[in-house]
């Protein structure tokens, strides 16, 4: 199988849309080329990286500079035809090679700092998400070898100003942008063409004889399914925010079992009857958590604490501290009830299940035994 091609356009309504690449890819490429320049002691004007999705990027290097065992380089962010607040800005890396054997990573000017819990990074850390952290370290390690060490600083001089156009402030990320990206590639798609592409994967699997499918919001779900449920990723299809659409498509195609697997931050909305989970469409996460905690007899203080949270992760800390973790089994059952209600006019509705997991890949709750669900999927 040939590797995915970055230059292949995405087509929508007869128009070719150009792909882009994430701030995480920019930071990874900048760090790699800076490390290369230290070792080779000459300026490099182009660098290649392989993104987490398997796409190879060949990127132009800007502002290269070498000074002894330290080098600096920048990559210009390109969102393709999916322009966002970071499009066109320079993402820099400064790499200092040493003999420590360890690679340390920090965020400098224009990279935001985490000031509140709830986004999977510790308070005080630079807002460099897990996948970019891994790709940056792996790229530098590939260059410097197993015995050398390096200090890596990612910075973005325009970051603080650009961040004012993002949701970072609402998430407690202050002072700059986030270095993000789970695939490394920005794929511009209209909602309709995106939905059709997701449905196509359902069709392909059904045509191959699959009768049981796992729908996940994104990449974290597939990893959880493999690592914690012991189920092949072949059963997994991404539904993104299009929960209702993908369920209806799976029903239309004759799937016998549909399992929704995801973090409560997405799936809790389904318990409120929200089947398009993008925050621009509807966001009743805290209200839903509060309502169901109240149904379970939670104290007023816990309801107030959860109501004041900005993220589901932050709310989950309060829920855990108050000993109300049985909420997640309750929510999973309610999610299934909502789906069954949506499919009430279906002649042969599929078995519907739901499993909620944490950012640490731990099972939080399910409508019934996760082990039983996993066994059925493996049949």
- HSE-up (13 A, CA, CB side) for residue 150: 31
CA distance 63 to 27: 14
122-148 per-position pLDDT tens digit: 899 999 999 999 999 999 999 999 999
Query: Average pLDDT, whole number, for the chain?
Result: 91
**Would you say residue 170 has pLDDT above 80?**
no
Of 193-207, 263-277, 303-317, the least confident: 193-207
Q: What is the pLDDT of residues 281-326, one digit of tens each?
A: 888 999 999 999 999 999 999 999 999 998 999 999 999 999 999 9
**Section 162-181 average pLDDT:** 87
* pLDDT, tens digit (0-9, with 9 covering 90-100), for 208-218: 899 999 999 98
Read off the pLDDT of each residue in 328-357 and give the average, rounded to a whole number.
96
- Which superfamily does CATH assign the domain made up of 10-186 to? CbiD-like (3.30.2110.10)
pLDDT at 2 over 50: no
Higher pLDDT residue, 196 or 354? 354
80: left (phi over 0), alpha (psi -120 to 50) or beta: left
> Is residue 61 packed enough to be buried (19+ CB in 10 Å), middle (13-18) or exposed (0-12)?
buried
The answer to whether residue 232 scores a pLDDT higher than 70 is: yes
Span(s) in the chain for CATH 3.30.2110.10: 10-186
Which is nearest to 126 in space by CA: 109, 108, 113? 113
The backbone region for 361, taken as left when phi is positive above 0, alpha when psi lies in -120 to 50, beta otherwise, is: left
């Amino acid at each position: 199988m040939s590797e995915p091609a970055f230059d292949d356009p995405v087509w929508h309504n007869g128009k070719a849309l150009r792909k882009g690449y994430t701030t995480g890819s920019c930071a990874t490429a900048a760090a790699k080329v800076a490390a290369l320049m230290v070792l080779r002691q000459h300026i490099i004007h182009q660098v290649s990286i392989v993104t987490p999705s398997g796409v190879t990027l060949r990127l132009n290097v800007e502002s290269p500079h070498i000074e002894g065992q330290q080098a600096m380089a920048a990559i210009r962010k390109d969102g393709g035809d999916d322009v966002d607040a970071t499009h066109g800005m320079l993402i820099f890396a400064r790499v200092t090679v040493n003999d420590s054997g360890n690679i340390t990573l920090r965020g400098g000017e224009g990279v935001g700092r985490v000031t509140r819990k709830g986004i999977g990074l510790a308070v005080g850390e630079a807002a460099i998400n897990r996948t970019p952290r891994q790709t940056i370290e792996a790229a530098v390690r590939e260059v410097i070898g197993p015995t050398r060490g390096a200090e890596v600083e990612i910075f973005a001089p325009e970051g603080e100003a650009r961040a004012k156009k993002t949701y970072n402030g609402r998430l407690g990320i202050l002072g700059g942008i986030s270095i993000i990206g789970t695939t490394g590639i920005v794929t511009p798609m209209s909602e309709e063409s995106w939905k059709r592409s997701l449905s196509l994967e359902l069709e392909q699997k059904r045509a191959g004889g699959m009768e049981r499918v796992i729908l996940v919001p994104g990449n974290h779900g597939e990893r959880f399914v493999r690592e914690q449920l012991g189920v092949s990723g072949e059963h997994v299809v991404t539904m993104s925010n299009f929960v209702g659409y993908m369920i209806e498509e799976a029903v239309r195609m004759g799937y016998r079992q549909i399992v929704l697997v995801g973090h409560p931050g997405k799936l809790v909305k389904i318990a409120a009857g929200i089947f398009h989970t993008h925050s621009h469409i509807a966001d009743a996460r805290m209200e839903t958590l509060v309502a169901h905690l109240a149904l379970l007899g939670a104290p007023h203080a816990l309801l107030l604490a959860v109501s004041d949270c900005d993220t589901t992760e932050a709310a989950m800390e309060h829920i855990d501290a108050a000993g109300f973790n049985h909420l997640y089994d309750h929510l999973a059952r309610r999610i299934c009830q909502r789906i069954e209600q949506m499919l009430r006019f279906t002649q042969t509705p599929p078995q519907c299940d739901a499993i909620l997991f944490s950012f640490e890949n731990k099972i939080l709750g399910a409508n019934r035994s996760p082990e039983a669900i996993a066994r059925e999927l493996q049949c």
